[in-house]
Each structure stands twice: as structure tokens, then as C-alpha cells.
Structure 1
Amino acid sequence: MKRFICLLLLLTLITQSFNKLGLILAFKVNQEYITASFCENKDKPEMNCNGRCFLAKKIKQAEQNEEKHRVENLEKTNILFFCRMNKLEVNESVSENGPLTFNPFYLKFKPSLFANDIFKPPQKLSA
């Protein structure tokens, strides 16, 4: 069942990507019918149109639909988010709570500079 769903999703992605190719293939398969039924230049056989005018219209229509969907998707994705910033106001004085006390460890703490140490990888023990 999972394979079927994966293949179905893959097929839908492929059909969206190759829309023009599908139109051209459908035209080639049904070219005689399209030439006889939909061709605008049936009365001008010297043009050798053979239904290509209909194909050009369909491809242009597909491009317009694709552009319309692209613009709609762009409008949906360009969402702005505005947030109101609140300011934090402290009304009480820090000195009202009493003197601040610090841990003496932090007052005497002096960080070492490990950047000056040279890294020496461990030596391979030969046994």
C-alpha cells in the first residue's frame, strides 16, 4: 500500500513538471483528429499547419495557468507577521531588596586561556 501511495504521489509530481510534454504527446497521438476538427488553417493547406495552431494555443493556455498558480502561491506564502513589542518597566529599586550578595567563588574566579595551550595528540603505544 505504501508503494502504491508513493508511486501515485510521484506520478502527480511528474505530471505537474512535464505538463507541456504531455500536451505535445497528446497532440502527436491525436494529430489527425485535431487537424480535422480544431485546426484554424484547414482552408490553407499550403501552410502545412496540421493542427500546430491548436497546439500553440494549448501550450500558451497552460503557461498562463501555470503563471496564475505561481502568483497565487506567491501571494499565499508572502505573509507578514507583526508583533507588538512590550517594554519591561521596573518600578522597584534594586536596593530596596537589600544588599546584593555574590558567591565568593565568582569574585575570585579567573578564567584560563586555553587558546595558548598547544594540543598534543596522544602517542601510539608500541607494544
Structure 2
Amino acid sequence: MREARAEVREQLEGWGFAARGDLVDTAVLLVSELATNALLHSASRFTLTLSAAHGVLRCEVADSGHRAPQVLDAGVAESGRGLFLVEALALRWGCHQGGTGKTVWFELGIRGTDRRGGRLPGDP
């Protein structure tokens, strides 16, 4: 997990988002949750893909598992809070199945508006 978190932080800072610590911290947290799920539930390695375009940061974690992720109630479950956080903090998220496994993804706004429709800090 440490490597995934470091990779996300390094890439986002390399893309010029260092001043947007909230964005970087949120992306790092959510990628960590998805990577943990990949390791726990698929017992396989995972692939991390990041892209940024049109005001959206998209993070994808692909693994060889075929079980679709489920959001659990954060107040009741002993584990499984990761997707609860993803659902709460991401603009959108989802999962798509492929022949060799699944990819769980989320998107965060990087300019323009946040998930509630307001301006993001630092935007004109």
C-alpha cells in the first residue's frame, strides 16, 4: 500500500497539484482503500492507473478478482469502510468487469466545481 500511496502523491505533485493538498490527500486515501480491497478480496496483484483531463482526476485499480465491490454501512461493519469513503468523497465511482478481472475506479474534480456544485478553492 505504501508504494501505491507514494506513487499517487508523486504523480499528482508532478502534474502540478502540490498546492491542492486536499485533492492529493483525498486521492491518496481513496487509492489506498481500493488497493487494500484488491489485495484482500482478490488475493492478487493490482494495477494502478491515473489520468487527469477535462477537470477530472480518474484513478483506477484493476485486479484479477471477479467479485463486485459493495458499500457497507460504516457504522456497523468491522471492515469494509473503504468504499463508504470512496462513495462519500468521490464525484463518481464504479466497477467494470473484464475477461481477466475487474477495475474499480473513482473520479475527483480538479477544477471548476466540487461534488456539491460549488467552486473549488483556488479556481478563478
Bin of the TM-score, shorter chain as denominator length: under 0.3
User: Using CA pairs below 8 Å that are at least 6 residues apart, which structure has the higher relative contact order?
Assistant: 2
Q: TM-score, normalised by structure 1?
A: 0.22
Q: Which has the higher helix share?
A: 1
Q: TM-score, normalised by structure 2?
A: 0.22
Between Structure 1 and Structure 2, whose CA radius of gyration is higher? 1
Q: Which has the higher strand share?
A: 2
